[in-house]
Structure 1
Amino acid sequence: MLFLQGAAYAHPNRDVLFSNINLSINRHDKIALIGNNGSGKSTLLKMLAGQLRTSEGLVKAESQPYYVPQIFGQFNDYTIAQALRIEEKMSALQEILAGQVTEANLSLLDDDWAIEERCHEAFAHWQLGALDLSQKLEMLSGGQKTKVFLAGIMIHNPEIVLLDEPSNHLDALGRGILYDYIKTTSNTLLVVSHDRTLLNLLQIVYELSKRGITIYGGNYDFYNDQKHIENEALNNDLKSKEKALRKAKETERESLERQQKLDSRGKKLQEKAGLPRISMNTLKNNAEKSTSRIKDVHAGKVDAIMQDLSQLRKEVADGDTMKIGFDDAQLHKGKILVSAENIQAGYDGKPLWNDPLSFQITSGERIVVKGLNGSGKTTLVKLISGSLAPISGNIQCAVNQSIYIDQDYSLIDNRLSIYEQAQHYNTGKLQEHEVKIRLNRFLFTKNEWDKSCENLSGGEKMRLILCCLTISNQAPDMIILDEPTNNLDIQNIEILTAAVNEYRGTLLVISHDAYFLAQINVERIIELNN
């Protein structure tokens, strides 16, 4: 149905992203493709969709896959019809209905007289309303753009569907529609996602890594259990090999000490016996050769163990080597930090919410702000942080220090290098080597310290922000996260989850990721209705 054989891809600068990838997907399979950021998941989907050529190997599909790309605003200059690849067909239909029944128009339409009706049905199904197909995508929200491409599945009715982070930017309603599609469709699916609720709806997990593709015959929870077993076995092997290395070095030392004692005793006996100098030299050379042979034997054993140990350490998950240590916020639990009474926001004189909002936020709480796309979640955060004033009502804030991590990671200064950014948060005046130790702990190695922050991925920027917070002398009273799991791979989501769970201050989260919210133990919901 859909397969890759010996596939490889190299960037234009000839850096190899992956090689010798073999993948086979049967009809009606529903498969999750997961892997760390930069492993090549999106590239692999584009190759299967026919949008990228392989550097080596073979790609084959029984029918043309329909590809839903990850949305970054790269389609803003497209009209909806262009993005859905139906512009020519819709134009031909309109001209035919206007009387221009030409061979060219009939050929373009290809007897698809129901195309316009399918568009209306698909848009209605995805809660998009009556969209104008000539409208530019730049006028739509991120969630609406994603829904447009998802609506294309109903419009094109393909057998094979490739989805790249389809739940990004979708609100709870949109995710519910997507989950229903995943559960009920007979399409063959290959899905790249970090949404663990979605991943649990898929039958098989393919993991893309430096070793190629590893198949796990179950959903994400099954995969996660198997990875824990593998990692536990790997850590046991690592400990065993480290013990063997210590033993080998100890044996080498003891053997050399024993040989040196024998050589010393032999020399004394030789001197006492009064052997000629030439005989003494011969015996000395033999003793030195014997010591050298012992060194070589043990050095070979130690080197072999060290090579095995080095390989095992490479296979240990990066996240397992990371230690995150937040200082506790200094506020006592239960102190009122934010008090809002009948607040209302608005634009162009129009109120944003049906009813004014009243609420309190106390120190140590974990709160999620929920609402449909466009309900004003980010606006509420700006009111709480003080960067926006309400048009009516009163809001008081007693937060001394808050950190707002938005979807664009604006806390990161793209003009700085990774090391310079870390030093910017070094309020406790850590020594240079201590800052670099923390960068290494967050997977930023020596080769990356001079790398510009502008070239970091979303996951890398989130990791760098977390690293900077640990470098900073004092944890903030409040951390605000705005859709924090968007564009992060599973590894970086787990790193973020671990960091959040170690934090003891107040947490305010905007997120539609139910799995993430459950893991960070959210206690209360502020629901927005409009």
Structure 2
Amino acid sequence: MLVLQHLGYAHPNKDVLFDGLNLTVGAHQKVALIGNNGVGKSTLVQLIAGELTPTTGLVHADSAPYYVPQHFGQFDTWTVAQALRIDAQLTALHEILDGQATEANLTTLDDDWTLEERAHDALHHWGLAGVPLTQPLAGLSGGQKTKVFLAGLSLHQPALVLLDEPSNHLDTAGRQQLYHFIRTTASALLVVSHDRQLLLLLDAVCELSKRGLTLYGGTYEFYLEQKQAESNALQQDVQSRTSALRKARETEREALERKHKLDARGRKHQAKAGLPTIVLNMMRNSAENSSSRLKGIHAEKVGALAQELQELRQELPDLDKMKFGFDDSGLHRGKTLFAAHGLNYGYAAGLLWPEDLSFQILSGERLALRGLNGSGKTTLLRLLLGELEPTRGTLLRAASKAVFIDQEYSLLHPRLSVYAQAQQFNTAGLQEHAVKIWLTRFLFTAPYWDKPCSTLSGGEKMRLLLCCLHLSHHAPDLIILDEPTNNLDLQNLEILAAALHDYRGTLLVVSHDEAFLQRLGVERTIHLHQRPAL
């Protein structure tokens, strides 16, 4: 069992990330941990794993958790044995076999004489047969690194498992193996993920937000239903407060108009009555004070309603605030953009694909490019973009304007500010205020305009790039996306899917995320097969 009690964490600069979190995960329970980028999901998992120390509160677990982290190169200096957390035991084993059967080595090994064999079996189970335990992680692909950490599950058989975006770098086969583990394991799971197929395998959903942790006692589908009900209720509250605010302002205006008419009539009668000046001044001051009090009462009511409405609107999902409007591509639907005949590409070891490729891509199509890790998807994309030329065969290119959105969003310049980056794409010559209106529509308000692009999260970079594409005078003929769902939270996935749904040009997507491909309406798939290893 895992228990969090009043858990809080503050960054070294004293900024509080979250506070007062409470959660219980029972034995064998499988819980999804979701939330927008930046709310602290990965930090929370690191606190539970013991990699960080809470500022307040406590974490209690009946057994030591096994943690599969996200990786962005910070583990490249580790060996496979270190990632599996067996390096000290292996060193002790080898020293014992070399004759150094010291008490320290025997204690470290703890009679686990089959450890090395079981480690190789675990790696083999996750598709890493032949990878040595001394292999540095720097020499492995992203998917292979993930599988190394996942192999530790087979090796250690932990009772509590923490997974942080485990499917990000896995190909389709790797994802299916991960899904099988989640379905069949008896371990308790706490999983950070935006992978819908994975989320549907879990028992409950826990959402981390500015309000804290909210546990939804049901599947991800139940969570979506509850969130939709909450969104509907919030929309009704916004409409109700908007109506009340409009009515309060009308009432304020009518009351002040009536008061002004009465005061004017009173002053006319007072002048006819011939009252002394001092009395007239006293009556005029009284009327002014009365008007001021009346105005203050109405202003207070209007201000309170306006504040309530502003707070409600801030709770609206960001997707509801955004507007989309991709223009259509200038190419007519059905025009041949790419035609490959007997295409192949050669490296030093020989040709990349076991069979030459022949295919067409037509304007307006939505296609997926699929293949296992190492099957040459990136090489084919570079051929389509004209960055490489075929070793064999021909490739006709007719797309005059193609946009390639890679996982690093390299179309964005890291040193430019958000506003300066938007101006780079402002080919229509929009005025400064118009560009900033577009930025605001994509959730980049004034505090963001001077921020360097390098400081943005993955989801923010994606939104900025979408905004930049909107600012371009002409929509691209072709958009290519390379694993676009990696490192995006569910909120930004919805934003990306909605934007691409409105795009009427040609779409080519490299992704293993089946749910995302279905959302985009992918019609056809180009499959790449890998040349067998010699």
Q: TM-score range by the shorter chain?
A: over 0.9
Q: Which residue of 2 aligns with 1:436?
A: 436
Question: CA offsets, 1:372-413, max 9 Å, x none?
Answer: 111111111111111111110100100100000111211011
* Letter in structure 1 aligned against 2:364: G
User: Distance in 2 between the 1:529 and 1:61 partners?
Assistant: 45
**CA distance in structure 2 between the partners assigned to 1:220 and 1:490 by the alignment:** 12
CA distance in 2, matches of 1:127, 1:58: 38
SS in 1 for 2:400: coil
- The whole-number CA distance in structure 2 between the counterparts of 1:345 and 1:488 is 32
2: CA distance, partners of 1:316 / 1:159 = 39
Using the TM superposition, give the Cα deviation of residue 18 of structure 1 relative to its aligned residue in structure 2, in angstroms: 1.1
Alignment correspondent of 2:463 = 463
Three-state SS of the structure 2 residue aligned to 1:21 is strand
Name 1:298's counterpart in structure 2: 298
- Secondary structure of the 2:367 match is strand
Instruction: Report how far residue 498 of structure 1 moved.
Output: 0.7
Distance 2:425 2:210 in 1: 34
The residue correspondences of 1:466-481 to structure 2 (distance < 5 A) are 466-481=466-481
| 2:364 alignment partner in structure 1 | 364
The answer for the alignment partner of 1:445 in structure 2 is 445
Seq. identity, %: 60
Confirm whether residue 144 of structure 1 aligns to residue 144 of structure 2: yes
CA distance in 2, matches of 1:219, 1:353: 42
The match for 1:112 is 112
Alpha-carbon distance between aligned partners in 2 of 1:195 and 1:106, rounded to the nearest angstrom: 43
* Number of residue pairs matched by the alignment: 530
**1:238 is matched with which residue?**
238
Unpaired runs of 5+ residues, structure 2, are: none
Please show how residues 479-498 of structure 1 align to structure 2 within 5 Å.
479-498=479-498
Task: Please report how far the alpha carbon of residue 479 of structure 1 lies from its aligned counterpart in structure 2 after TM superposition.
Answer: 0.2
Map 1:20-31; keep pairs closer than 5 Å. 20-31=20-31
Q: Structure 1 residue 114: deviation in Å?
A: 2.5
Deviations 1:49-77 (A, max 9, x none): 00000111111111110000001111111
Alignment match, 1:61: 61
**What residue in structure 1 maps to residue 84 of structure 2?**
84
> Which letter maps to 1:24?
T
CA distance, structure 2, for counterparts of residue 72 and residue 36 of structure 1 = 19
Counterpart CA distance in 2 for 1:289 and 1:149 is: 74
SS at match of 1:168: coil
Aligned partners of 2:420 and 2:134: how far apart in 1? 46
Corresponding letter in the other structure for 1:86: I
Runs of 4+ in 1 over 3 A off after TM superposition: none
Instruction: Tell whether 2:157 aligns with 1:161.
Output: no
CA distance in structure 2 between the aligned counterparts of 1:484 and 1:219, rounded to whole angstroms: 25
In the alignment, the residues of structure 2 paired with residue 118 and residue 195 of structure 1 have an alpha-carbon distance, to the nearest angstrom, of 30
Once residues 394 and 28 of structure 2 are traced to their aligned partners in structure 1, the CA distance between those partners, rounded to angstroms, is 56
Equivalent position of 2:49 in the other structure: 49
- AA at the equivalent of 2:242: E
Distance 2:460 2:151 in 1: 32
Which runs of no fewer than 5 residues in structure 1 stay unpaired?
none
1: CA distance between counterparts of 2:356 and 2:46?
A: 46
Equivalent residue letter for 2:482: D
Q: 1:73-472 maps to which residues of 2 (within 5 A)?
A: 73-472=73-472
Once the two structures are overlaid, the 10-residue window that deviates more, 454-463 or 171-180, is 454-463
CA distance in 1, matches of 2:88, 2:280: 98
Q: Separation in 1 of the partners of 2:334 and 2:303? A: 57
Q: Report the Cα distance in structure 2 between the residues aligned to 1:293 and 1:420, rounded to whole angstroms.
A: 49
Give the Cα–Cα distance (whole angstroms) in 2 for the partners of residues 89 and 131 of structure 1: 18
Deviation string 1:221-260 (CA, Å, 9 cap, x unpaired) is 2211211111111011001101111110110010010011
Opposite residue 385 of structure 2, the aligned amino acid is: S
Letter in 2 for 1:3: V
What SS does the aligned partner of 1:183 have?
helix
Aligned mates of 1:303, 1:435 — CA distance in 2: 31
Shift of 1:271: 1.5
* Alignment RMSD (CA, Å): 1.0
Range with bigger deviation, 37-46 or 263-272: 263-272
- With 455-464 and 32-41 compared, the bigger mean Cα shift is at 455-464
Partner letter of residue 463 of structure 1?
A: R
2: distance between equivalents of 1:219 and 1:114? 40
Deviations 1:466-510 (A, max 9, x none): 010001111100000000000111111111101110000000010
Quote how far apart the aligned CAs of 1:415 are: 1.8
1:383 is aligned with what amino acid? Answer: L
- SS of the residue 1:288 aligns to: helix
Q: Secondary structure at the match of 2:132?
A: coil
Q: Distance in 2 between matches of 1:322 and 1:449?
A: 17
Give 1:96 deviation, angstroms.
2.3
Moved more, 384-393 or 395-404: 384-393
Q: Compare 4-13 and 505-514 and name the one that shifted more.
A: 4-13
Match of 1:529 in 2: 529
Secondary structure of the corresponding residue to residue 334 of structure 1: coil
C-alpha distance in structure 1 between counterparts of 2:297 and 2:417, whole Å:
47
Alignment partner of 1:281: what SS?
A: helix
Instruction: Indicate the SS of the match to 1:132.
Output: coil
Between the aligned partners of 2:500 and 2:310, the Cα distance in structure 1 is 31
Distance in 2, Cα, partners of 1:261 & 1:489: 59
1:437: how far off? 0.8
Listed one character per residue, the Cα deviations across residues 160-180 of structure 1 (whole Å, up to 9, x for unaligned) are 000000001100000000000
Q: CA deviation at 1:349?
A: 4.5
Q: Distance in 2 between matches of 1:133 and 1:106?
A: 21
Q: Deviations over 1:393-444 (max 9, x none)?
A: 1001001000001112110111211111100000000010011111111111
Letter in 1 for 2:239: K
Match in the other structure for 1:32: 32
The equivalent residue for 1:514 is 514
